[in-house]
Amino acid sequence: MFLPLALLLLSCTLPTDEPEASATATPAPTSVVLILMDDMRYDDLWAMPWVNENLAPMGLSFDAAYVNTPVCCPARASIAAGGFLAQSTGVLSNYLPNGGATVFNADRTMAGALQAAGVRTGFIGKYLHGHPPRTVPIGWSWFNKPIIEEDWSSYEVAVGSSTSTAEGTGATSSVSQYLTDYIGDQSLGFLEEAGSEPFFLWINHWAPHYPATPAPEDVGAFAGLTLRPPSFNEADVDDKPLFVRDTQVWVDAKVESYDEAYQSAMESLLAADRSVRDLVEKLDELGRLDDTVIIFTSDNGYLYGEHRQSGKGMPYQEAIRVPLIIVAPGGTTGREHRLVSVTTDVPATIQDLAGVTPDTEGDSLQPLIEGSPPPSWQERLLIEAYEGTPHPSFAGVVERRWKYVEYTGDDLELYDLSSDPYELESRHADASLDPVRQELADWLDERRGLLMRTSSATMQVGVSSTLTVEAVGGEPPFSWSAIGDLPAGLSLTPDGELNGTPEEAGIFSVGLTVTGTGTRRHSRATESFSGTVRLTVLDESGSSGFAPPDREERITVRGDGLDVEIPAPSGHPVYVTLSPNGDFGDGLRFSALGPDAVISFEGLTPGARYQLLIQGQGPAVVREVQIPR
């Protein structure tokens, strides 16, 4: 039983390094509140003083909590599914063809299973990318989705309900309340309406995701705040993969920009901190603290300059390691050091607590919460990211000590996290560690999802050539198909051979889809992956003849929008990802087919700066534009 809240908050102390056994005779409660932050990394908890000083001591804090895929939509889809890897849901990124809500199996969700078992289900906040604004997914007794672009003080919301077997339709209305406060207030309303019913409430905050707008009273609360771990703007990156080696040392202006972004992100957490406090107090007022489990965590982390990088979608600790606090009546308090997956183990736990047999790939944490650790526990977690960011795809494995990563191409990383927690020196080339690397590589080979490995190739005009496009992961044999037209003179066989005699020099973005023979465990669709090979075709002089247009010819800003021209041969796929903060993993992605496709954007915010990732003929480029006021 919980102490009265006021007494509890006066008497709580910071958790010790080891779990403190508490009474475990209380039956497993059937109600759960899941509070999911967005882009909050493991070391951001200090910016939520109430959670850090009051909620954490009430429960169990996990210091090795990870997300399997550190990208927004895949992570949330894994949770919504009930605890499945991205390779099992098929939601590999935020965008089609490899991700977004369109590829998610909306008929098979944790909410649907809970609602069918008699649990009142509620959701408020951010759902899956590309999910229709007014559609209520299966399984929600109450569903409230703010429709946010960048303004956290004026937006539309869609509110409705559905059943465990059929979607619903939400009614829209306008809201002029600070976003985090709105989410908090609506959550309290759900708790009041739930009465004494068993419930599951999923609160999906935007904070501290960009634009990370602080509440008016919190602006400037962390003025002058900077983040300077040893890995910040790392000087020596010779041990790192190519995408890091190709990143220049940040200049002062960029450092200042991300200092401001970090300050704003941390200030945005203060309102979320108050909303958690209000929620706990409301549960106490309603007498529901004795039968409700509170889970606090995040969908992924974020880099603010570590290894010269920003954003997510990378295997570094700042992107994959997140906070996890579980407060349960009569449950264990203190710290837990075992490896856990937020995206698979937490949903398994929610179903277990609600008395529903978990449909999941995760392991329930209920034994740990009750202070009765299972006889064995996972010693390794799979981490993976497929596409949708400027960073290459990767698959890896993390342990308490070692982290091993393989990227598309030939880059590897191996870190000893016990002696090098900031990942300053990759040990993948250390011959003395070959046995460790090989063991981890073998473990990974048995578990990684299907991915196209070949990313670039070179041919010559008039010379007969054959390129065997490679895939890794999944279940062979594989079959291949082309997206759009191939360069003149080339053909693709079903087994992945790109052959023929090229007729034209240039740099071509060749779109391909590989399909395996495996079935995704959650979506139950046949596994497949779509990607591009950058094919450089040289003429007799050794030149590709490619001369990209300058910026003025490629991007035209007009009014509240812009046009982007992407050079590409007829029938070849081109892509533009638009991001208001350089976080292309959470931007908006658009595609078209050449020749020289023009992709247009409307309704952009006056005065705002946007970054564009442009992928077509030639190397990918990143541009920044500002919309006039």
- Domain hosting 70: range is 5-371
Kindly report the CATH number assigned to the domain that includes residue 414: 3.30.1120
pLDDT at 54 over 80: yes
| Spatial contact of 34 and 352, defined as CB atoms under 8 Å apart | no
Burial 284-313 (b: 16+ CB within 10 A, else e): beeebbebbbbbbbbbbbbbbbbbbbbbbb
Q: Would you place residue 600 in the very low, low, confident or very high pLDDT band (cuts 50, 70, 90)?
A: confident
Task: Quote the CA–CA distance of 374 and 339 in Å, as a whole number.
Answer: 13
435 and 456 together in one domain? no
pLDDT at 12 over 50: no
392 and 521 together in one domain? no
Residue 103 structure tokens = 């590829």
369: Cβ contacts below 8 Å, ≥ 6 apart: 60, 293, 326, 328, 331, 332, 349
Q: What is the mean pLDDT of the chain?
A: 89
- Residue 377, domain member (yes or no): no
Task: Quote the CA–CA distance of 129 and 121 in Å, as a whole number.
Answer: 21
70 and 105 together in one domain? yes
What was the pLDDT predicted at 18? 40
Judged by average pLDDT, the poorest of 12-21, 79-88, 251-260, 568-577 is: 12-21
- Residue 159, domain member (yes or no): yes
169: Cβ contacts below 8 Å, ≥ 6 apart: 134, 135, 136, 160
What was the pLDDT predicted at 62? 97
pLDDT one-digit tens code per residue, 117-173: 999 999 999 999 889 999 999 999 999 999 987 899 999 999 999 999 999 999 999
pLDDT one-digit tens code per residue, 303-338: 999 999 999 999 999 999 999 999 999 999 999 999
| Spatial contact of 51 and 15, defined as CB atoms under 8 Å apart | no
313 and 440 together in one domain? no
pLDDT one-digit tens code per residue, 2-11: 333 333 333 3
Given 538, 570, 600, the domain boundary residue is 538
pLDDT one-digit tens code per residue, 148-163: 878 999 999 999 999 9
Kindly report the CATH number assigned to the domain that includes residue 586: 2.60.40.10
267 and 145 together in one domain? yes
422 and 321 together in one domain? no
- Residue 569, domain member (yes or no): yes
pLDDT at 17 over 80: no
- Residue 358, domain member (yes or no): yes
Task: Quote the CA–CA distance of 441 and 423 in Å, as a whole number.
Answer: 19
- Residue 496, domain member (yes or no): yes
Kindly report the CATH number assigned to the domain that includes residue 133: 3.40.720.10
pLDDT at 581 over 90: no
435 and 487 together in one domain? no
What was the pLDDT predicted at 582? 59
173 and 313 together in one domain? yes
DSSP for 402-415, please give it. EEEEEESSS-EEEE
User: pTM score > 0.85 for this model?
Assistant: yes
Domain count, the chain: 4
**118: amino acid identity, one letter:** G
pLDDT at 402 over 50: yes
Residue 39: DSSP 8-state: S
- Residue 376, domain member (yes or no): no
What was the pLDDT predicted at 410? 85
pLDDT at 626 over 90: no
404 and 282 together in one domain? no
- Residue 460, domain member (yes or no): yes
- Residue 602, domain member (yes or no): yes
Helix (H) or strand (E) holding 320: helix 317-320
Given 408, 430, 445, the domain boundary residue is 445
pLDDT at 14 over 60: no
Given 514, 538, 562, the domain boundary residue is 538
Of 149, 139, 144, residue with least CA distance to 160: 144
What was the pLDDT predicted at 7? 33
339 and 477 together in one domain? no
- Determine the straight-line distance between the first and last CA of the chain, rounded to whole angstroms: 57
What was the pLDDT predicted at 19? 41
43 and 92 together in one domain? yes
Residue 193 structure tokens = 């309406």
178 and 322 together in one domain? yes
